[in-house]
Amino acid sequence: MTPFGRRVRELRAQRGITLAEMAQVLGVTPAYLSALEHGKRGRPTFTLIQGVIHVLGVIWDEADELVRLADLSHPRVTVDTAGLDAEATLFANRLAREIGDLSRIDFDALTAVLDQASRRDER
Protein backbone atom coordinates (compact mmCIF):
# COMPACT_ATOMS: atom_id res chain seq x y z
CA MET A 1 0.00 0.00 0.00
CA THR A 2 1.22 3.50 -0.76
CA PRO A 3 0.99 6.48 1.62
CA PHE A 4 -1.56 8.08 -0.74
CA GLY A 5 -3.59 4.88 -0.99
CA ARG A 6 -3.60 4.36 2.77
CA ARG A 7 -4.77 7.92 3.42
CA VAL A 8 -7.49 7.77 0.74
CA ARG A 9 -8.75 4.52 2.23
CA GLU A 10 -8.79 6.03 5.75
CA LEU A 11 -10.69 9.11 4.55
CA ARG A 12 -13.18 7.00 2.58
CA ALA A 13 -13.88 4.89 5.67
CA GLN A 14 -14.31 7.97 7.87
CA ARG A 15 -16.85 9.39 5.44
CA GLY A 16 -18.65 6.11 4.78
CA ILE A 17 -17.86 6.12 1.05
CA THR A 18 -17.43 2.71 -0.56
CA LEU A 19 -14.74 1.96 -3.09
CA ALA A 20 -17.42 1.39 -5.74
CA GLU A 21 -19.17 4.70 -4.99
CA MET A 22 -15.95 6.66 -5.17
CA ALA A 23 -14.82 4.92 -8.35
CA GLN A 24 -18.13 5.71 -10.04
CA VAL A 25 -17.91 9.41 -9.20
CA LEU A 26 -14.27 9.55 -10.35
CA GLY A 27 -15.09 7.74 -13.59
CA VAL A 28 -12.70 4.86 -12.95
CA THR A 29 -13.31 1.20 -12.24
CA PRO A 30 -13.39 -0.09 -8.67
CA ALA A 31 -10.53 -2.43 -9.65
CA TYR A 32 -8.39 0.54 -10.72
CA LEU A 33 -9.13 2.47 -7.53
CA SER A 34 -8.38 -0.60 -5.42
CA ALA A 35 -5.09 -1.13 -7.27
CA LEU A 36 -4.21 2.53 -6.71
CA GLU A 37 -4.92 2.25 -2.99
CA HIS A 38 -2.85 -0.94 -2.72
CA GLY A 39 0.15 0.40 -4.62
CA LYS A 40 -0.31 -1.80 -7.66
CA ARG A 41 -0.73 1.24 -9.92
CA GLY A 42 1.65 4.14 -10.37
CA ARG A 43 1.32 7.64 -9.04
CA PRO A 44 -2.16 9.10 -9.69
CA THR A 45 -2.61 11.92 -12.18
CA PHE A 46 -3.20 15.48 -11.01
CA THR A 47 -6.77 15.28 -12.34
CA LEU A 48 -7.48 12.12 -10.34
CA ILE A 49 -5.96 13.63 -7.20
CA GLN A 50 -8.22 16.67 -7.58
CA GLY A 51 -11.21 14.36 -8.08
CA VAL A 52 -10.35 12.43 -4.92
CA ILE A 53 -10.04 15.70 -2.99
CA HIS A 54 -13.47 16.78 -4.28
CA VAL A 55 -15.19 13.44 -3.58
CA LEU A 56 -13.76 13.25 -0.07
CA GLY A 57 -14.60 16.89 0.60
CA VAL A 58 -11.18 17.72 1.98
CA ILE A 59 -9.84 21.25 2.07
CA TRP A 60 -6.67 23.14 2.90
CA ASP A 61 -4.18 21.08 4.88
CA GLU A 62 -5.81 17.72 4.12
CA ALA A 63 -5.86 18.51 0.40
CA ASP A 64 -2.20 19.59 0.50
CA GLU A 65 -1.38 16.39 2.37
CA LEU A 66 -3.04 14.25 -0.31
CA VAL A 67 -1.11 16.04 -3.07
CA ARG A 68 2.15 15.56 -1.15
CA LEU A 69 1.41 11.90 -0.43
CA ALA A 70 0.54 11.27 -4.08
CA ASP A 71 3.91 12.69 -5.09
CA LEU A 72 5.63 10.31 -2.64
CA SER A 73 3.58 7.25 -3.59
CA HIS A 74 5.14 5.78 -6.69
CA PRO A 75 5.41 2.06 -5.86
CA ARG A 76 8.42 1.49 -8.16
CA VAL A 77 11.17 3.91 -7.32
CA THR A 78 14.31 4.58 -9.36
CA VAL A 79 17.33 5.95 -7.55
CA ASP A 80 19.87 7.66 -9.83
CA THR A 81 23.31 7.49 -8.22
CA ALA A 82 25.20 8.51 -11.37
CA GLY A 83 27.91 10.96 -10.41
CA LEU A 84 27.74 10.11 -6.71
CA ASP A 85 30.26 8.20 -4.60
CA ALA A 86 30.40 4.41 -4.79
CA GLU A 87 29.00 4.34 -1.24
CA ALA A 88 25.80 6.00 -2.49
CA THR A 89 25.34 3.33 -5.15
CA LEU A 90 26.06 0.59 -2.63
CA PHE A 91 23.57 2.07 -0.17
CA ALA A 92 20.84 2.45 -2.81
CA ASN A 93 21.27 -1.13 -3.99
CA ARG A 94 21.32 -2.54 -0.47
CA LEU A 95 18.21 -0.58 0.43
CA ALA A 96 16.41 -1.88 -2.66
CA ARG A 97 17.41 -5.46 -1.84
CA GLU A 98 16.78 -5.35 1.92
CA ILE A 99 13.83 -2.97 2.34
CA GLY A 100 11.45 -5.87 2.90
CA ASP A 101 13.42 -6.92 5.98
CA LEU A 102 13.27 -3.53 7.70
CA SER A 103 11.10 -2.99 10.77
CA ARG A 104 8.98 0.04 11.67
CA ILE A 105 11.81 1.09 14.03
CA ASP A 106 14.30 0.86 11.13
CA PHE A 107 12.03 3.00 8.91
CA ASP A 108 11.63 5.58 11.66
CA ALA A 109 15.40 5.74 12.19
CA LEU A 110 16.14 6.12 8.46
CA THR A 111 13.40 8.75 8.12
CA ALA A 112 14.95 10.69 11.01
CA VAL A 113 18.32 10.64 9.24
CA LEU A 114 16.74 11.90 6.00
CA ASP A 115 14.82 14.61 7.87
CA GLN A 116 18.02 15.74 9.58
CA ALA A 117 19.89 15.89 6.25
CA SER A 118 17.03 17.84 4.67
CA ARG A 119 17.05 20.40 7.50
CA ARG A 120 20.84 20.71 7.22
CA ASP A 121 20.55 21.37 3.46
CA GLU A 122 17.91 24.06 4.06
CA ARG A 123 20.36 26.10 6.16
For the chain, 123 residues long, give each residue's pLDDT as a single digit of tens. Answer: 889 999 999 999 999 999 999 999 999 999 999 999 998 888 899 999 999 999 999 999 999 999 999 998 887 888 999 999 999 999 999 999 999 999 999 999 999 999 999 999 887
Predicted local confidence at residue 88, as pLDDT = 94
**Residues in contact with 102: Cβ distance below 8 Å, sequence separation at least 6, in sequence order:** 110
Q: How far apart are CA 19 and CA 118, in angstroms?
A: 36
User: Residues 52, 44: contact at Cβ < 8 Å?
Assistant: yes
Q: Are 43 and 71 in contact (CB under 8 A)?
A: yes
Q: What is the C-alpha separation between 14 and 45, in angstroms, rounded?
A: 24
Q: Which domains does the chain have, with CATH numbers?
A: 3-71 (1.10.260.40), 86-122 (no CATH)
Q: What is the pLDDT of residue 74?
A: 84
